[in-house]
Amino acid sequence: VAKAVDLRYVSTLIACLLGGAAGFGAVRVVAAQQNPPSEHDVQAAYLYNFGRFVEWPAGAIPQDRFAVCVLGADPFGKTLDGVLDGLSIGGRRVVARRMATSDAASGCQILFISASEEKQLYATLESLKSRSILTVSDIPQFAQRGGMIQFVTVANRVRFEINLARAQQAGLAIRSDLLKVALVVRKDSRPGE
């Protein structure tokens, strides 16, 4: 291994000598991001990523599927299907579902509650309270009002708040990595604060 590394040193050194100036210039080049992803594109990806940082109770999840559901008016459209296509979590194929009422959400692991559901949010959350479903939304004060993860856009960047107490009540274990990158972590259980 040491020999291979040595050879790499040598070749790197030669490369640096030959194209020193060009290489130095390249240091400062910051590739411009083409077609910056939209807020909902990022949120769609995050919905999947949340699944990788949260543990569900053993019996609350089917063996072969991992459902990411959207309740109410779907803001993602085909993006969500595109993002989730071919992905899996813990060996389970990830599928996208859309539904109109929370009654249909019993088979979901992650439920995105659309802004269209804001009016009946309290009732919806109450109905999901006893189930091991990770609730996510971009409705303002969603985390304060009993939701688990709330998207917040700060300086054109999608961030999120976590209501850890509510997730724990639902039997979900959120990994500390996720808490670390969360904007706010709420540990009190009182809703409507």
Partner 1 sequence: MTVVPAQRRSSISRRLTWMNMVVSGAGLLLAFSASIAYELWTSRDVTIRNLAIQADIIGSNSVSALTFNDPAAAQTTLQALSDAPHIASAGIYTAEGQLFAGYSRNADAVSLPAPSIPPGETQVARFDGRLMGVARRVTFEGKPIGLVYIRSDLREVYGRLLRYAATAGVILLASLIAALMASRLSQRAISVPIVQLAETVQSVSHNHDYAVRATPSGGADEVRVLEDAFNEMLATIQQHQQELQKAHDHLEERVRMRTQELNTANKELEAFSYSVSHDLRAPLRHITGFSALLEQRAGSTLDDDSRRYLKTIVSASTRMGRLIDDLLAFSRLGRANVTKARVSLRDLVDQARAEVSSQAGDRQVVWRVAPSLPDVHADPNLLQLALVNLLSNALKYTGTRQLAEIDVGIHPNGQDRVVLFVRDNGVGFDMQYAGKLFGVFQRLHGTDEFEGTGIGLANVRRIIRRHGGDVWADAEVDRGATFYLSLPVEG
CB 133 within 8 Å of CB 107: no
Q: Which is nearer to partner 1, 2 or 21 (CB)?
A: 2
> In whole angstroms, how close is the CB of 178 to partner 1 at the nearest point?
6
> Among residues 26 and 58, whose Cβ is nearest to partner 1?
26
Q: Which is nearer to partner 1, 105 or 182 (CB)?
A: 182
Q: Roughly how many angstroms between the first and final C-alpha of the chain, as a whole number?
A: 59
Q: Give whichever of 52 and 78 is closer to partner 1, judged by the CB atom.
A: 52
Distance of closest approach, residue 61 Cβ to partner 1, in angstroms = 17
Per-residue three-class SS string for the chain: CHHHHHHHHHHHHHHHHHCHHHHHHHHHCCCCCCCCCCHHHHHHHHHHHHHHHEECCHHHCCCCEEEEEEECCCCCCHHHHHHHCCCEECCEEEEEEEECCHHHHHHCCEEEECHHHCCCHHHHHHHHCCCCCEEEECCCCCCCCCCCEEEEEECCEEEEEEEHHHHHHCCCEECHHHHHHCCEEECCCCCCC
Residues near partner 1, by CB under 8 A: 2, 5, 8-9, 12-13, 16, 26-28, 30-31, 42, 46, 49, 52-53, 157-160, 175, 177-178, 180-181
Q: Residue 96's Cα: distance from chain center in Å?
A: 14
Smallest distance, partner 1 to C-beta of residue 9, A: 5
Q: Kindly state the smallest distance separating residue 27's Cβ from partner 1, in Å.
A: 5
Minimum distance between the CB of residue 23 and partner 1, rounded to whole angstroms? Answer: 8
At closest approach, how far in Å is the CB of 37 from partner 1? 10
- Cβ closer to partner 1: 105 or 158? 158
Minimum CB distance to partner 1 smaller for 53 or for 107: 53
Give the torsion through C-alpha atoms of 81, 65, 128, 76, to 10 deg: 0
